[in-house]
Structure 1
Amino acid sequence: MTENTHEKSTTLVLGGTGKTGRRVVERLTARGLPVRVGSRSGEPPFDWEDQATWAAALRGAGSVYLVYYPDLAFPGAADSVRSFVSRAVGSGVRRLVLLSGRGEEEAQVSERTVRESGVEWTILRASWFCQNFSEDYLLEPVMGGEIAFPAGDVAEPFVDAEDIADVAVAALTEDGHRGELYELTGPRLLTFADAAAEISKATGREIGYLPVSPEEYAAGLVEHGVPAGYATQLAGLFTDVLDGRNAHLTDGVRRALGREPRDFTDYAREAAATGVWGG
């Protein structure tokens, strides 16, 4: 695939401090490409809930890595994405790379918005991130020695955020990914109990997995200070996408990058080496 020969305009990376966005920013910066971090702490700031911040963030941007917070499946997401895409195209953006959720029917509304935008687009439908165990929802439970989660014994093809970032950067900088929808998975299926066992092996600590109901999970989040409405939505989303609908592998990483995706074992070993899980 060839590198985009268009003028090197700025890439706006929404969620630029998040799990995939931060990695995309690092890769673009390392290549000497102009990049703008789209976040509330960015300069200028970007806030999905404040459309007055959008124009400044988009100024001079030719491409956008489009990540919606908290999730494309949440109420109001489709309307916000539709408004943003219209604003982005009107401001001169000519390439959109959307991070979508695998198995999320609501997210496909935003996918259609991007497809119908009239500019170059690529869609990345990602499975459950490996990094959710070390950078987000499940970090504290792992550190506490027990992952209580509403996933039963369903298998999931956990995907590494490093792979997602590699695919995103390829789509943002090369001409061979126009009009492509990549479903991104890891190379094998693991249950959450399997994932806990992998982390146990990597850390030398006993990490258990406790299946709980969505209601129990939401109640636990509320006990830790998460607003009740958000906790319920989050538990519902996890329950939906982890009902077995995604329990199969795809070749998205291979098609986009010409290599196999990273394995969970490698992720767990490297994460453990950083000390993020203690010990």
Structure 2
Amino acid sequence: MTRVLVTGAAGRVGTHLVRELRARGAEVHTAVEDMRPGDRVYVCAADGPEKVARETAVIDAATRAGAERIVKLSAMHADPASALPAFTWHGQIEDHLRKTEMPAVILRPAFFMANLLMVAEGVAHTGLLPAPTAGRRVAMIDIRDVAAGAAAALLDEGHEGQAYDLTGPSAVTFADVAAAIADATGRPVRALDLTEEQARPRFEGAGLPDWLAAHLAGVFALIRAGGFEHATGHVEALTGRPARDIGAFAREHAAAFA
């Protein structure tokens, strides 16, 4: 039985990952204190100013313990030189992981479909899906596919040394998303394309930490620049099945948008 240590097990991806691993017969542990030689380790801490310190500490502990493999959940556009806080942190952690020379797999998901649930109540009340995207496409991904990809990277052979960009099966506009929600709920939904100026007070007035408001604004700037338009087949390469599409996500979460 493969022994796997999962950090961030209570997170959005981690919750699904633990289920995936147990369904595949893995022995799952969630406390860093349980680290053992030969473990396979999933590295993910909550985003925030402490992320780099927390994840590098896990990586260092895994290195000292003689872990067999590390799988790091990163992000598309991770770069130590990024102007976006979370992408900077992911880039710094990736650099640290490479310097350890540990056998590792890096997963870089695109925009999460689950982020749409942040505006689901507003969609339900107004029939509008607002976003500052300039009509550009986004290869958004279901977090369950991220978890399935992580499980494969942890348990299957042949992935060490690889970095995978994880996306949905195709890139969609927010008009496509609105149409999928409308089909799923049986209620009219229309995409409302905001300008950057119109969107700014929404981010700043949402009660978010300053770094997160800045990061979200930056993510939508990347979307407007086409930075999330490219869909890959990496979910299928890892899991053997296609990634879920936006229609499936909308149907499964129809109650939230209705």
CA displacement at 1:204 relative to structure 2: 1.1
User: For 2:109, which of 126, 146, 167 is the aligned residue?
Assistant: 126
TM-score (norm. length: structure 1) = 0.77
- Is structure 2 residue 160 aligned with structure 1 residue 181? no
Deviations 1:110-133 (A, max 9, x none): 223223323221111111122222
1 CA distance for matches of 2:72 and 2:205?
33
Measured against aligned partners, the alpha-carbon deviations of 1:70-95 in whole angstroms (never above 9, x if no partner) come to 2xxx6664454334312332234331
Q: Give, in whole Å, the separation in 2 of the partners of 1:176 and 1:255.
A: 11
Match of 2:128 in 1: 146
Q: Which runs of 5 or more structure 1 residues have no equivalent in the other structure?
A: 1-6, 38-43, 45-54
Question: In structure 1, which of residues 95, 113, 116 is the aligned counterpart of residue 69 of structure 2?
Answer: 95
Q: Is the 8 A contact 2:71 2:105 kept in 1?
A: yes
Q: Which piece of structure 1 moves more, 231-240 or 201-210? A: 231-240
Q: Which residue of 2 is the match for residue 8 of structure 1?
A: 2
TM-score by length of 2: 0.82
Contact 1:8/1:34, CA 8 A, preserved across alignment: yes
Kindly provide the amino acid, as one letter, of the partner of residue 111 in structure 1: E
Within 1, Cα distance between the matches of 2:69 and 2:212? Answer: 32
Q: Which of 185, 189, 202 is residue 184 of structure 2 equivalent to?
A: 202
Q: Are the counterparts in 2 of residues 120 and 178 from structure 1 also a CA contact under 8 Å? A: yes
Q: What secondary structure does 1:27 align onto?
A: helix
Tell me if 1:20 matches 2:13.
yes
How far apart in 2 are the matches of 1:219 and 1:248? 29
**Cross-structure match for 2:59:** 85
Whichever residue aligns with residue 43 of structure 2, its letter is L
Over 3 Å counting, the alpha-carbon distance change for 1:173 and 1:224 in structure 2 is same
Shift of 1:213: 4.1
CA gap of 1:214–1:21, structure 2 versus 1, over 3 A, is farther
Alpha-carbon distance in structure 1 between the residues aligned to 2:193 and 2:46: 26
- In structure 2, how many angstroms separate the alpha carbons of the residues matched to 1:255 and 1:239? 29
How many residues in Structure 1 have an aligned counterpart in Structure 2? 247
* Cα gap change, 1:143 to 1:60, in 2 (>3 Å): farther
Report the residue type matching 2:128 in the other structure. Answer: E
Alpha-carbon shift at residue 14 of structure 1 (Å): 2.6
Alignment match, 2:83: none
Look up the SS of the partner of 1:116 in the other structure. Answer: helix
Determine which of 26, 40, 45 is the counterpart of 1:63: 40
Report if aligned partners of 2:203, 2:216 keep a CA contact under 8 Å in 1.
no
Structure 2 residue 234 is the aligned partner of structure 1 residue 260: no
Matching residue's letter, 1:118: E
d(CA) in 2 for partners of 1:216, 1:177: 43
Question: Structure 1 CA distance, aligned partners of 2:196 and 2:28?
Answer: 39
| CA 102–119 in structure 1, closer or farther in 2 if over 3 Å, else same | same
Q: Considering fraction of residues, name the structure with more helix.
A: 2
